[in-house]
């Protein structure tokens, strides 16, 4: 890091800080603070969805997966097609119901217990996965790029973690959702442009795209998009089962993402914003996974040296989480290096800002307002700011644990945990929207039962299995621990569906009038014509573009190593 790099990073912070201050000056109501006054356009919504999703764990973790497992994790990054489901099916329910949070929608469809369960599960998941994982990934880059600036690499790690979290927390606490939305556009541009520079310089150093393909073909088993059923980590059937479940949960039912569409000034912009975010979502395979593969190839050629780590089998291999920072440190000239670090800060800060605001929304609207109703709007905004600060602190406390759990690859760890959280939530939403016979009893039992089963699987695999350091007795617990996380996601979905349907059919059905407008049957004959009008030509064009691009990428990468 040289003087020009620091100047660029300083300018980035100054510009983002000014934007956050300017747009967040008046935050007097909960609608202002949590939903930006419900006046956002589709561009800001789509950019915010993209930058909320692409955190530093994507840049660091996804590049690491590209180096170690090739295209195996690309299926999770080609979820742009799920955004079509969000825009076409889910957004109308959320937007027309006038809710602040997704758990609030669940209360309208079922009851308050379902809302509480989803709110608490979401808050726990945010604190112990998203906040800590995102900050950990960003701190890893500081540790690699500034190893001696603060005395030692470990000191650089913690300075990077605290600095970015505190600065992000400040502008989120004071700026609210409007600051999150309006800082997303420049951050999205920096993310894409900065990552393209990594790809360009990496390919130029390697000798071009053909060289990369040639080296990948020699290691096709490691880099293929589709793996045989015998593959212990990514069998193709497991991918087909688990990937859509996690995708529908994350993109269609998670407050962290869906809150952006609730800020729209009308239903047309809400749908278009979701689709524009989906169009941007196509890019991570090209700007994060591919650079990771380039880093692996450069390491194999001896052009750069990526730090090694001990693998589970006792052998040494590439430390995937260090691929991205090693590329930045070795390939980029002065100035551009600062731009890429700003790119990382953009990813880290935008994801954390979105997460902080979503967590504050969940706590204030779904928990605190229920316990303390009738308070002033200013009071609830103040509570939201306090909640944001608490989430920041709890996430920081969990970071030391991330140093232990990230040894298997940050991104893969994240997807496995999400695979255990998602099934029961997906089952409740899909069944609840499309089958009016599903009632509150079924939803509550399904949410609670699915969450307990998922967390049980996570706890068992942490302590039991055949890997060194784990317990192999009793044998049935070891078998559960080693059961592939992809198949486990499918089993959890099936069990959740059985619980929800079974309990619903054994108990009294809900009054159809009370759930009018909250199931597909009750809104498909829209007398006002608003739903049909909101699916305009622009939305249809964006949908066609998304589906064409996703299909094209699947076709290309399915055969690129043949």
Q: Which of 255, 292, 317, 325 is nearest to 77 (CA)?
A: 292
Residues 78 and 191 in one domain: yes
pLDDT for position 130: 72
Same domain? 111 vs 136:
yes
User: What average pLDDT does this structure show over 429-450?
Assistant: 93
Quote the tokens at residue 281.
């979502």
In a domain, 427, yes or no: yes
Last residue of a domain, one of 378, 403, 428: 403
CATH of the domain at 63: 1.20.1730.10
Residue among 177, 183, 172 at smallest CA distance from 37: 177
DSSP conformation class of 62: I
Q: Which residue has the higher pLDDT, 182 or 94?
A: 94
Domain end point (choices 340, 371, 403): 403
Residues 416 and 393 in one domain: no
Separation between Cα atoms, residue 383 and residue 92, nearest integer Å: 29
Q: What is the pLDDT, as a whole number, of residue 445?
A: 96
Domain-located, residue 145: yes
Write the pLDDT tens digit of every residue in 320-365: 778 888 888 888 888 888 877 776 776 677 667 767 777 777 788 7
Q: Is-contact 505 499, C-beta < 8 A?
A: no
Q: Are residues 399 and 517 in the same domain?
A: no
CA distance 382 to 174: 10
* Residue 284 confidence (pLDDT) above 70: yes
Residue 542 banded pLDDT, cuts 50, 70, 90: very high
Best CA proximity match to 308, nearest among 295, 322, 298: 322
- How far is the C-alpha of 444 from the C-alpha of 556, rounded, in Å? 43
Per-residue model confidence (pLDDT) at position 373: 84
Q: Per-residue pLDDT for 481 more than 60?
A: yes
**Low-confidence winner among 25-34, 199-208, 528-537, 542-551 (lowest mean pLDDT):** 25-34
Say if residue 434 is in the same domain as residue 362.
no
Interacting residues of 412 by C-beta distance below 8 A, sequence separation 6+ = 61, 65, 69, 73, 233
Residue 135 domain-assigned?
yes
101-128 per-residue burial string, b: 16 or more CB within 10 A, e: under 16: bbbbbbbbbbbebbbbbbbbbbbebbbb
pLDDT at residue number 184: 66
pTM for this one? 0.83
> For residue 408, is pLDDT > 70?
no
- Give percent above pLDDT 90 in the chain: 20
Within this chain, do residues 390 and 432 fall inside the same structural domain, yes or no? no
The more confident residue out of 421 and 97 is: 421
Classify residue 314: in a domain, yes or no: yes
Q: Are 136 and 64 in contact (CB under 8 A)?
A: no
Cα–Cα dist 396/99, whole Å = 30
CA-to-CA separations, 510 to 108, 346, 425, in angstroms, rounded: 12, 46, 20
- C-alpha radius of gyration, the chain, whole number: 23
- Lowest-confidence pick of 3-17, 404-418, 455-469: 404-418
* In-domain check, residue 93: yes
Give a yes or no: residue 555 inside a domain: no
pLDDT, average across residues 62-82: 86
User: Could you tell me the pLDDT band of residue 178, with boundaries at 50, 70 and 90?
Assistant: low
What are the start-end ranges of the H helices in 207-235?
Answer: 209-217, 220-223
User: By mean pLDDT, which of 270-274, 301-305, 415-419, 490-494 is the weakest?
Assistant: 415-419
- Give the least confident one: 29-38, 165-174, 479-488, 514-523: 29-38
Of 284, 300, 286, 296, give the one whose Cα is nearest residue 327.
Answer: 296
* 458 and 381 within one domain: no
Contact by Cβ (8 Å): 169, 390: no
Q: Are residues 423 and 502 in the same domain?
A: yes
pLDDT digit string, tens, across residues 141-170: 677 667 777 777 778 777 777 777 777 767
Peptide bond into 179 cis (omega under 30): no
How far apart CA 472 and CA 76 sit, in angstroms, is 31
C-alpha 44: how far from its chain's center?
18
pLDDT, residue 304, reads 87
Residue 192 has pLDDT above 90, yes or no: no
Token pair, residue 95, equals 């937007």
Please, what's the largest Cα pairwise distance for the chain?
A: 70
In terms of domains, do 28 and 105 share one?
yes
Q: Is the pLDDT of residue 140 over 70?
A: yes
Quote the pLDDT of residue 444.
95
Structure confidence by residue, pLDDT tens digits, 216-242: 898 888 888 998 998 888 899 999 999
**Mean pLDDT along residues 399-412:** 57
Which residue, of 357, 382, 403, is where some domain finishes?
Answer: 403
Q: Length of the chain in residues, anyone? A: 562
DSSP-assigned letter for residue 304 = S
- Residue where the block lists tokens 């009071």: 379
The two three-digit tokens of residue 432, written as one number? 């609840």
| 305 vs 12, higher pLDDT | 305
CA distance 354 to 259: 9
Question: Which residues constitute the domain of residue 519?
Answer: 412-524
543, two tokens? 């949908």
Specify the pLDDT at position 440. 93
Q: Torsion angle, CA of 550/556/559/562, rounded to 10 degrees?
A: -160
Query: What pLDDT score does 463 carry?
Result: 81
Q: How many domains would you assign to the chain?
A: 2
Tell me how far apart the alpha carbons of residues 219 and 70 are, in angstroms, rounded to a whole number: 10
Same domain, 488 and 341: no
* pLDDT attached to residue 288: 83
| C-alpha to C-alpha distance for 453 and 510, rounded to whole angstroms | 27
| Residue 390 in this model has a pLDDT that exceeds 90 | no
Q: Does 307 fall in a domain?
A: yes
DSSP code for 310: E
Q: What is the pLDDT of residue 177?
A: 57
SS3 assignment, position 434: helix
Q: What is the mean pLDDT of residues 367-391?
A: 80
Please give the mean pLDDT across all residues of the chain: 81
DSSP 46-97: HHHHHHHH--HHIIIIIHHHHHHHTTTTHHHHTTHHHHHHIIIIIHHHHHHH
Shared domain check, 325 and 425: no
Are 273 and 133 in the same domain?
yes
181 pLDDT exceeds 70? Answer: no
Predicted confidence (pLDDT) at residue 492 exceeds the cutoff of 90: yes
pLDDT above 60 (res 527): no
* Residue 548 located in a structural domain: no
């Amino acid at each position: 890091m040289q003087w020009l790099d620091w100047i660029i990073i300083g300018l980035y912070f100054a510009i983002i800080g000014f934007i956050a201050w300017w747009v967040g000056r008046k935050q007097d109501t909960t609608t202002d603070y949590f939903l930006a006054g419900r006046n956002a356009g589709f561009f800001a919504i789509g950019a915010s969805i993209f930058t909320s999703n692409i955190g530093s764990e994507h840049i660091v973790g996804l590049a690491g997966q590209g180096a170690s497992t090739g295209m195996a994790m690309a299926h999770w990054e080609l979820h742009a097609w799920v955004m079509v489901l969000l825009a076409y099916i889910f957004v109308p329910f959320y937007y027309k119901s006038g809710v602040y949070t997704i758990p609030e929608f669940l209360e309208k469809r079922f009851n308050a217990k379902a809302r509480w369960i989803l709110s608490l599960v979401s808050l726990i998941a945010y604190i112990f996965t998203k906040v800590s994982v995102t900050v950990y990934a960003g701190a890893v880059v500081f540790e690699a790029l500034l190893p001696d600036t603060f005395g030692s690499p470990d000191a650089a790690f913690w300075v990077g973690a605290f600095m970015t979290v505190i600065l992000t927390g400040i502008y989120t606490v004071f700026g609210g959702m409007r600051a999150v939305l309006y800082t997303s556009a420049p951050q999205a541009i920096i993310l894409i442009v900065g990552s393209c520079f990594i790809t360009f310089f990496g390919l130029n150093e390697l000798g071009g795209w053909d060289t990369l393909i040639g080296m990948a073909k020699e290691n096709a088993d490691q880099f293929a998009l589709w793996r045989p059923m015998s593959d212990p980590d990514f069998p193709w059937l497991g991918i087909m089962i688990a990937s859509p479940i996690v995708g529908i949960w994350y993109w269609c039912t998670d407050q962290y993402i869906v809150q952006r569409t609730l800020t729209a000034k009308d239903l047309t912009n809400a749908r278009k914003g979701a689709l524009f975010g989906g169009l941007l979502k196509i890019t991570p395979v090209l700007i994060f996974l591919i650079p990771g593969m380039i880093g692996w190839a450069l390491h194999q050629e001896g052009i750069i040296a990526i730090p090694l780590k001990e693998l589970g089998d006792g052998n040494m291999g590439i430390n995937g989480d260090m691929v991205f920072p090693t590329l930045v440190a070795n390939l980029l000239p002065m100035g551009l290096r600062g731009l890429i670090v700003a790119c990382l800060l953009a990813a880290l800060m935008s994801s954390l800002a979105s997460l902080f605001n979503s967590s504050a929304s969940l706590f204030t609207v779904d928990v605190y307002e229920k316990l303390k109703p009738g308070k002033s709007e200013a009071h609830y905004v103040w509570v939201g700011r306090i909640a944001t600060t608490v989430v920041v602190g709890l996430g920081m406390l969990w970071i030391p644990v991330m140093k232990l759990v990230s040894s298997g690859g940050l991104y893969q760890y994240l997807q496995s945990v999400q695979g255990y959280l998602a099934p029961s939530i997906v089952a409740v939403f899909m069944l609840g929207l499309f089958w009016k016979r599903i009632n509150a009893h079924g939803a509550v039992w399904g949410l609670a039962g699915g969450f307990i089963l998922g967390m049980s699987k996570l706890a068992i695999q942490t302590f039991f299995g055949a890997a060194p350091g784990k317990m192999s007795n009793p044998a049935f617990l070891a078998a559960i621990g080693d059961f592939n996380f992809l198949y486990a996601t499918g089993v959890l979905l099936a069990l959740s569906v059985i619980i929800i349907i079974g309990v619903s059919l054994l108990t009294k059905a809900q009054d159809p009038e009370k759930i009018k407008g909250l199931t597909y049957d009750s809104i498909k004959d829209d007398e006002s014509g608003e739903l049909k009008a909101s699916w305009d030509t622009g939305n249809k064009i964006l949908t066609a573009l998304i589906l064409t691009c996703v299909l094209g990428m699947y076709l290309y990468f399915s055969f690129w190593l043949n």
